[in-house]
A and B are shown apart, each in its own frame.
Chain A
Amino acid sequence: MSATLPNAEPHAELDPRLAPPFPKAALPVLRNAQLRKNVAHATDVIQAKRAHLVEEKQDWQQLRAAAAAIRDHVLDHLGDYLEQFETRCTAAGGVVHWATDAAEARAIILRILREEQASEVIKIKTMTSAEIQLNPALEAAGIAASETDLAEIILQLGHEEPSHIVVPSLHLNRAQVREIFARRMDLPQLSDDPRALTAAARTWLRRKFLTVPTAISGANFLIAETGAVAVVESEGNGRMCLTLPRTLITLAGIEKVIPRFADLEVMLQVLARSATGERMNPYTSLWTGVTPGDGPQRFHVVLLDNGRSPILARPTERQTLRCIRCGACQNTCPVYRQTGGHAYGSVYGGPIGAILTPQLMHMEHAQSLPFASSLCGACYEVCPVRINIPEVLIELRAQVVDQQRRRQNRMFDPLYLGMRAASGILASARRFGAAQRLGRIALRPFTRSDGWIHSLPGLGARWTLTRDLRGMPNQSFREWWAQRQEKQP
């Protein structure tokens, strides 16, 4: 690991193909009390702001319905809108590239950078670039990538991974940020006052903005009607990246397109309130191709598929692609609250990650993620585009189990065997009654004199890890009812 080359280490932690299953990945985080405290505090703050602003909006449910309808309409006509975007963007002087997968997207971006003879790029926060593992690829090609979003700077300098899609450094508190800045910017006297920290970042950034002529951005929206790209942010660093460099490359998932400029009226309202708990985000930048003498003179858009288009074909799952990456589901999720984003083994953590990541991986990796939810429904309740995440989770769970049914080793999975056996038992009330009586006998040796079970073997041990279980009563309800009927026919 070299101190001068940021992101020299591979992002194994956030590669769904390499990440450990969720229950295992969660363990180190559950032991990290500071991280859990940071996540709970940060999500509480954002949630409270969001709740306040949603409450003041009388037509919030109608806005959600409108946003969902716009996104659904796009997904129904995605090919048409993407072509329209390409035509308009090209006419305005942009160059549109199509990337089937992460490798192709990286290759396109590297080719452009080589043509530009770039040895350094500045970046606006883009989760999509993390999805395609762009920074390690740039590093390997000898191109230094400098993040300019405050949260991303913290992560880059601290060699940390993003843990949230809107506030990627949410798992760190300001004392930890101070420590990273003091060490990496060589500012031993730096205080942890937020103003001092942002001032340090500004000085650090200003040099980059004024010297690096090539920038990479993501996109919040692509507007088919005009060929414009929209980025929303809070800091203004994005706008510096979008206006100062000579060359700008925008990487965007194909689902990011919306039909008309006017649709921003709905989308920006729901996005700002859901993402940061603001009525309107401080900076909304829109640009259309190239304007001679103003802003970047060479502009490329890379449209990324990377597993998205197969999702379109599936009726239940396609709502996943409505997502506008507001992170509200992460902030409200009681599972994310305990684990933060890293345990999800992908840049997309929390409920949206639990459904998006396995699908982007064609259900070949990250199969533990659909099970990383108690199905409490809090995510669906806050989602500004009404993605029924629990419904998609259940659909994906069925796909994982269907894969398991075809595997030989299923007979070694106690949960699989248990579920199959339970199905046979529950198919008949007679069998169910017999199983109840048998269970009573089987559990007797584990039941203490106080009538409770404190420890169970096998899968049961997963329950008794932290919870006792009341011993089985001597009479089931159905037995009681039958006895009662006999007494009073």
Chain B
Amino acid sequence: MRASLFITCYNDTLFPETGRAVVRLLERLGVALDFLPAQTCCGQMHANTGFRAEAFSQAKQFVRLYRDAEAVVIPSSSCVAMIREQYPGLFAELGNEQLRGELTALLPRVYELSEFLTGPLGVEDVGAYFPHRVTYHASCHGLRGLAVGDRPLRLLAKVRGLDLVALENLDRCCGFGGTFSIKNAEVSSAMLAEKLTDVQRTRAEYCTALDNSCLMHLGGALHRQFAPMRTIHLAQILASTESEPAEVTP
């Protein structure tokens, strides 16, 4: 199977190890993976901050770039939610019927990573080995926007050596919210503090998620508090094997 990786702007810039893990994982599973260097960003940050015209440019760029792709894999549920939930409205509002048509044809081929694995690839056991105690944080866009359900948990359950520990108040936001964490830094921090209490109560070694955005938020606070727990994207756990363990950030 062929697929094109849309890495997303912040993974590209700040979390290249997640991208490398997606490449390793999908190639191990026999996917012919492609990366189009012309890609930049889905436009979520602009759309959610009110910069609609700017978001439209990104959306247009995305659809033009991927309209012929067999499948687009994105290791970020919030970017996928942006594409699925907001692109149709953006194109409709700007009256671009051609783009709208192209988007409608493209959307069924756009997948968040756990969707791609459990959907078109039809795997739950990806042959991973990660001998650690792990808790899973459900990012809001994965949980409500994409309704990924227990897909990530099913994937994690099949990882050898992994001790999965449930997180309480799983459906509560960590307080990141993109520019919300800047505009409303104090409220965002209060939400984060409450989430951290639940996360740390699991006594896990790693907190994982579908989105590095939530993990950057949680991980930043864990580091600030000298907590031993680390954050790791789901792709890195799934890519990890005995011979090639996950790349762990400092």
Contact = CB atoms under 8 A, between A and B. Distances in A.
Interface of A: 22-23, 26-27, 30, 36, 334-335, 337-339, 370-378, 380-381, 391, 394, 397-402, 415, 419-420, 422-423, 426-429, 432, 436, 439, 450-452, 454, 459, 462-463, 465-470, 472-473, 475-482
B172 interface: yes
A30 B186 CA distance: 8
A462 B192 CA distance: 14
Contact of A398 (B13, B52, B184): B52
A477 B12 contact: yes
7 contacts: A338-B194, A371-B50, A371-B180, A415-B49, A426-B40, A466-B189, A470-B219
Contact of A26 (B15, B54, B145, B184): B184
Interface string B22-55: 0100000000000101111101011111111010
Given A334-B173, A378-B171, A423 B184 contact: no
Given A334-B173, A470-B14, A480-B20, 8 more contacts: A338-B191, A374-B177, A374-B191, A381-B144, A419-B49, A454-B224, A477-B11, A482-B37
B61 A427 contact: yes
Contact of A419 (B51, B220, B250): B51
B118 interface: no
B190 to A, nearest CB: 4
Contacts of B38: 429
A388 B49 CA distance: 17
B144 A426 contact: no
A394 B48 contact: yes
A182 B224 CA distance: 45
Given A436-B13, A459-B182, A423 B40 contact: no
A26 B221 CA distance: 21
Nearest to B39: A429
B165 interface: no
B104 interface: no
A423 B220 CA distance: 26
Contacts of B221: 466-468
B249 A334 contact: no
A298 to B, nearest CB: 47
Interface string B170-211: 011101111111111111111111100000000000000000
A426 B13 CA distance: 12
Nearest to A453: B220
Contact of B220 (A394, A467, A480): A467
B181 to A, nearest CB: 7
A150 B93 CA distance: 47
Nearest to B47: A394
A360 to B, nearest CB: 19
A468 B220 contact: yes
Contacts of A459: 182
Contacts of A462: 181-183, 185
Indicate the member of A375, A376, A480 with the most B CB atoms within 10 Å.
A376
Contacts of A391: 85, 89
B152 interface: no
A401 B50 contact: yes
B173 A378 contact: yes
B220 A469 contact: yes
Contact of A378 (B13, B144, B179): B144
Contacts of A372: 184, 187
Interface string B77-116: 0000000011001000000000000000000000000000
A30 B47 contact: no
Contacts of A476: 12-13, 16
B51 A423 contact: yes
Indicate the member of B20, B39, B48 with the most A CB atoms within 10 Å.
B48
Given A30-B186, A374-B175, A415-B182, A480 B19 contact: yes
A478 B249 CA distance: 19
B135 interface: no
Given A401-B49, A451-B250, A480-B16, A467 B40 contact: no
Contacts of B58: 423, 426
Nearest to B191: A334
B223 interface: yes
B187 A339 contact: yes
Contact of B177 (A373, A419, A427, A467): A373
Interface string B125-136: 000000000000
A465 B185 CA distance: 7
Contacts of A450: 250
Contact of B186 (A27, A468, A469): A27
Indicate the member of A439, A452, A467, A479 with the most B CB atoms within 10 Å.
A467
B1 to A, nearest CB: 19
Contact of A23 (B9, B12, B186, B191): B186
A401 B45 CA distance: 13
Indicate the member of B15, B176, B190 with the most A CB atoms within 10 Å.
B190
A374 B173 contact: yes
| Pairs of residues from A and B, 9 with the lowest C-beta to C-beta distance, nearest first | A374-B177, A467-B220, A397-B50, A401-B50, A376-B173, A477-B19, A423-B54, A376-B140, A477-B16
